[in-house]
Each structure stands twice: as structure tokens, then as C-alpha cells.
């Protein structure tokens, strides 16, 4: 795998509109963006309604994922091209999620919806109808996902990368500044975590920085030891999926997990260690 | 720019009671007198540190729940349009900003 195997630019996407082997999928938290206009032929996935279990805090299970993709007309042989708003946070999350369930023919659109819009490329309000498929998912790949006990056991041993903003890391905010401040019971970060905000991996137009810039960011500036395994986290696991994509897919680090429980879980656990203050 | 507590901003976003104790920065982006419905507002800290970004609403509106302090607001829109403003945020205040591109 290399950058060109996992990331494509807007010209590539434009050239593959209508390609029968490529399904373009917009993934957002707020799908009203899709409803106003989307890349022609794209279907939508709702980060919450479609990808989260409606009762427990967890993913939809394997059967649910199979039902979802079958209903949306995605088959096992399709190449799925994901893009979305928020600089691809939720598209990166969906990318990680597709990989978790064993769909390897998946790509991310560099720059996502923002670059597409800033380039003034075509948006369509037509909602495509795709014939139903019979999708088969694999069991979840646990090598990509960290749960809370593994995170606690990783303190001081593995690289912990907190990808939230410096104010969230320090404990001054509990959520990104475009969201109401609620959620976790306590602010702060997991002891020994390095703060490398996801945004440092992206250019202003939402595209990823070059591999050289990314290596400098994580190794030289943040001091991550690439010989160790890494767990990335944020507030709910979507921004850290963006960083997981950078470390695992672009920089090809083998053992990188996303902790999707993230701060909304960790910051509400009873009795776990928390550190306050700015990163070093 | 003003910070006059409650009340609906020019963009028409209603400020709910839930924002009452928070440090809100909100406003609207216009170009040649019309709302800019396609574009992005980003909030930056010292040294251009990225804090948050939102797509503009149909009325060109945006809103952030910031920490108290001084921030830079940067707006990006198609056609290379961009603008920057310095803004202050404080708990219990709604700081309103009108940006003309």
C-alpha cells in the first residue's frame, strides 16, 4: 500500500463519476450537506444513524453492516470512494470502519467535500438509485481498534496520540469549538499522550500534507517512536480516524489503532488517571 | 463586531438558552451584499493554531463555542475569496462578526 493506493484527488474522482465499479459515498455527521448537493452519483451514509448501534454505544454489528451495504447497493467487488465534510473526519472514520469489516477496496478523496466546493466543481441534488446487493462482511479486524482496557495498559508503554485541539488536550474545552461544550465528565488527556492535533496533518483546503511533512510532524516534532505501537484518540473517534489514516495508510506504520471510545469514554471513567495542562 | 449577549444574529441563527454560559463567536459572511452559502469559517489560536472549522449556512452564518480569549477568524470561499478578523470570546457572551469578502 502507498499513498496512491488509498488516496485519490478530485480529478480522479471526476473521471470516475459513473464508473460502474466505483461507488462514491459522502459520509457526514450532518447529512443536510449531501441533501443540498453532492458529487454526482454519490450516495450518502449518516455517521450516526447508519454506522452506530441505535441502543448500545458501539458500531453496527457485522450483520447490520452487511444489511446496510446491501441496501445501499454496495457489493464486495466495488471500489468505495469516501469523502465528506469536516475535512474528511467522518469519511476517514468510515474508511477505517470499512477496513475494520474487511472491505479493502476503499479510497479517500483528498480534501473531501471542502476542496471539491472550493474548486467550484459540480454538485448534484439527484439521489441515485442503486440496485440491492448481497454484501458479505468479514469479522471485525481487532488489530485496528483499541478498547479502553488496552488504552489503560498502553499508558507509558505505547505511543498515545491525542489528536484534539490544544485547548481540549489541556482540559480547557470538552469538545471542538464548533460544538456545544458537553460530553465527558472531566477534561484533560490520558497521561503520557502526545498532543498532535489532527489539523496539523492537513492543509488549509483539507488535503493531506506530503509524506515527508507528515513524518517530520510525528517523528521529529512530536517525538513519536515509530518502533512502538500507537493508539490514536480524540473525542468520539472520528478525528483520530483521520490520524489513523495518516499513520497507518499514508505512512504505513503497521501497528496503529484507533480508540473510538476516545475522550467521551475515557473522561467519564471512574478512577482512571488524567493529566491536565498543555502538551510538552 | 459587538458582543451583546443574547438575541438572534443577522444570519438568523437563534441563540438557544444552552449557549447562555458559553463563549460563543458567531456571525455571517457576505459578498457584494449577498450571503455566502458555500464556504468555510475557521477559528485559529495563537500562531495560526487551528481550533475549529464550520461550513457556512445558507444564510452565510457560522457559530463557534470557543474558550475565552483572543482568536483569529478566517473565512474561505470558492474563487479564492478569503478574509480574516480578530475576535474576542468570553463566557456568557455572544461575539458577533460580520465578514464581507
Last residue of a domain, one of A82, A109, A140: A140
What's the pLDDT band for B13 if we cut at 50, 70, 90?
Answer: very low
Last residue of a domain, one of A91, A121, A140: A140
- Cβ within 8 Å, pair B40-A178: no
In this predicted model, which residue has the larger pLDDT, A29 or A102?
A102
The answer to whether residue B10 scores a pLDDT higher than 50 is no
Choosing among B15, B52, B62, which should be mutated to test the A contact, i.e. which has the most A CBs within 10 A?
B52
Residues 6+ apart with CB under 8 A from A34: A26, A28, A42, A44
The grid cell for A267 is: 473522561
Mean pLDDT of B54-59: 92
Mean pLDDT of B36-53: 90
Domain range holding A179? Answer: 143-266
Mean pLDDT of A6-29: 96
Is A272 among the domain residues?
no
Is A279 among the domain residues?
no
- Taking only the tens place, the pLDDT of each residue in A85-125 is 889 999 999 999 999 999 999 999 999 999 999 999 999 99
- Cβ within 8 Å, pair A117-B38: yes
In this predicted model, which residue has the larger pLDDT, A218 or B16?
A218
Identify which of A171-175, A205-209, B5-9, B22-26 has the greatest average pLDDT. A205-209
Residues A97 and A152 in one domain: no
Please list every residue in chain A whose beta carbon sits closer than 8 Å to the beta carbon of residue B77: 118
Residues A108 and A165 in one domain: no
**Which of A86, A179, A199 has its CB closest to that of B50?**
A199
Residues A176 and A195 in one domain: yes
Last residue of a domain, one of A140, A175, A203: A140
User: Do A46 and A94 contact (CB within 8 A), yes or no?
Assistant: no
The grid cell for B26 is: 458567531
- Taking only the tens place, the pLDDT of each residue in A222-252 is 999 999 999 999 999 999 999 999 999 999 9
Identify which of A49-53, A184-188, A190-194, B10-14 has the greatest average pLDDT. A190-194
| CATH at residue A133 | 3.40.250.10
B50 touches chain A (CB under 8 A): yes
Say how far apart CA A116 and CA A205 lie, in whole Å. Answer: 9
What's the pLDDT band for B19 if we cut at 50, 70, 90?
Answer: low
**Which of B40, B67, B79 has its CB closest to that of A173?**
B67
Residues A30 and A102 in one domain: yes
Residues A136 and A189 in one domain: no
For residue A252, CA distances in Å to A2, A6, A154, A244, B70 come to 7, 11, 21, 10, 38
Residues A88 and A163 in one domain: no
Is A69 among the domain residues?
yes
Concerning whether A234 is annotated as a catalytic residue, the answer is: yes
Query: How buried is residue A263: exposed, middle or buried, by Cβ count under 10 Å (0-12/13-18/19+)?
Result: buried
The answer to whether residue B4 scores a pLDDT higher than 70 is no
The pLDDT of residue A181? 63
Residues A155 and A227 in one domain: yes
Is A273 among the domain residues?
no
Residues A8 and A132 in one domain: yes
- Domains of chain B are 2-13+29-100 (2.60.40.10)
- Cβ within 8 Å, pair A180-B49: no
Mean pLDDT of A44-57: 92
Say how far apart CA A191 and CA A13 lie, in whole Å. Answer: 41
Residues A152 and A234 in one domain: yes
β-pairing, B69-77 vs B81-89, is antiparallel
Is A271 among the domain residues?
no
Mean pLDDT of A134-152: 97
Please list every residue in chain B whose beta carbon sits closer than 8 Å to the beta carbon of residue A119: 78
Question: A6, A161, A234, A251: which one is catalytic?
Answer: A234
The answer to whether residue A4 scores a pLDDT higher than 50 is yes
Residues A212 and A226 in one domain: yes
The answer to whether residue B20 scores a pLDDT higher than 90 is no
The pLDDT of residue B14? 44
Is A161 among the domain residues?
yes
ipTM entry: 0.79
Please list every residue in chain B whose beta carbon sits closer than 8 Å to the beta carbon of residue A114: 40, 55
What's the pLDDT band for B3 if we cut at 50, 70, 90?
Answer: very low
The answer to whether residue B6 scores a pLDDT higher than 70 is no
- Taking only the tens place, the pLDDT of each residue in A164-199 is 988 899 998 888 777 766 678 899 999 999 999 999
Is A186 among the domain residues?
yes
- Cβ within 8 Å, pair A177-B67: yes
Can you give the pTM of this predicted structure? 0.90
Helix (H) or strand (E) holding A36: helix A32-36
- Cβ within 8 Å, pair A177-B43: yes
Say how far apart CA B55 and CA B63 lie, in whole Å. Answer: 10
How many structural domains are present in chain A?
Answer: 2
Residues A7 and A136 in one domain: yes
Q: Pick from B14, B76, B92, B91: which is nearest to B39 by CA?
A: B76
Is A222 among the domain residues?
yes
Residues A151 and A135 in one domain: no
Choosing among B17, B40, B95, which should be mutated to test the A contact, i.e. which has the most A CBs within 10 A?
B40
Amino acid at each position: 500500500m502507498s499513498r496512491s493506493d488509498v488516496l485519490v484527488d478530485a480529478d480522479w474522482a471526476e473521471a470516475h463519476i459513473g464508473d460502474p465499479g466505483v461507488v462514491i459515498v459522502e459520509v457526514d455527521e450532518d447529512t443536510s450537506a449531501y441533501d443540498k448537493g453532492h458529487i454526482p452519483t454519490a450516495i450518502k451514509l449518516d455517521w450516526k444513524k447508519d454506522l452506530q448501534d441505535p441502543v448500545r454505544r458501539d458500531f453496527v454489528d457485522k450483520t447490520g453492516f452487511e444489511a446496510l451495504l446491501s441496501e445501499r447497493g454496495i457489493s464486495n467487488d466495488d471500489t468505495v470512494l469516501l469523502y465528506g465534510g469536516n475535512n474528511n473526519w467522518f469519511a476517514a472514520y468510515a474508511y477505517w470502519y470499512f477496513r475494520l469489516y474487511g472491505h479493502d477496496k476503499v479510497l479517500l478523496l483528498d480534501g473531501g467535500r471542502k476542496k471539491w466546493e472550493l474548486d467550484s466543481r459540480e454538485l448534484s441534488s439527484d439521489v441515485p438509485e442503486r440496485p440491492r446487493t448481497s454484501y458479505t462482511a468479514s469479522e471485525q479486524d481487532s488489530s485496528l481498534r483499541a478498547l479502553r482496557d488496552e488504552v489503560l495498559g498502553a499508558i507509558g508503554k505505547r505511543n498515545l496520540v491525542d489528536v484534539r485541539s490544544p485547548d481540549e488536550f489541556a482540559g480547557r474545552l470538552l469538545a471542538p469549538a464548533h460544538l456545544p461544550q458537553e460530553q465527558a465528565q472531566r477534561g484533560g488527556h490520558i497521561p503520557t499522550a502526545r498532543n498532535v492535533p489532527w489539523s496539523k496533518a492537513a492543509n488549509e483546503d483539507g488535503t493531506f500534507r506530503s509524506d515527508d511533512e507528515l513524518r517530520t510532524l510525528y517523528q521529529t516534532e512530536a517525538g513519536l517512536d515509530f518502533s512502538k505501537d500507537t493508539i490514536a484518540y480524540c473525542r468520539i473517534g472520528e478525528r483520530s480516524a483521520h490520524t489513523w489514516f495518516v499513520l497507518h495508510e499514508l505512512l504505513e506504520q503497521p501497528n496503529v489503532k484507533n480508540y473510538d471510545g476516545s475522550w467521551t469514554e475515557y473522561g467519564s471513567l471512574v478512577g482512571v488517571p488524567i493529566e491536565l495542562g498543555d502538551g510538552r | 463586531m459587538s458582543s451583546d449577549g443574547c438575541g438572534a444574529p443577522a444570519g438568523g441563527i437563534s441563540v438557544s438558552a444552552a449557549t447562555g454560559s458559553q463563549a460563543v463567536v458567531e456571525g455571517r459572511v457576505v459578498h457584494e451584499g449577498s450571503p455566502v452559502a458555500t464556504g468555510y469559517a475557521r477559528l485559529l489560536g495563537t500562531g495560526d493554531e487551528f481550533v475549529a472549522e464550520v461550513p457556512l449556512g445558507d444564510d452565510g452564518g457560522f457559530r463557534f463555542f470557543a474558550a475565552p480569549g483572543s482568536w483569529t477568524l478566517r473565512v474561505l470561499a470558492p474563487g479564492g475569496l478569503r478574509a480574516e478578523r480578530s475576535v474576542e470570546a468570553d463566557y456568557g457572551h455572544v461575539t458577533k462578526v460580520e465578514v464581507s469578502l
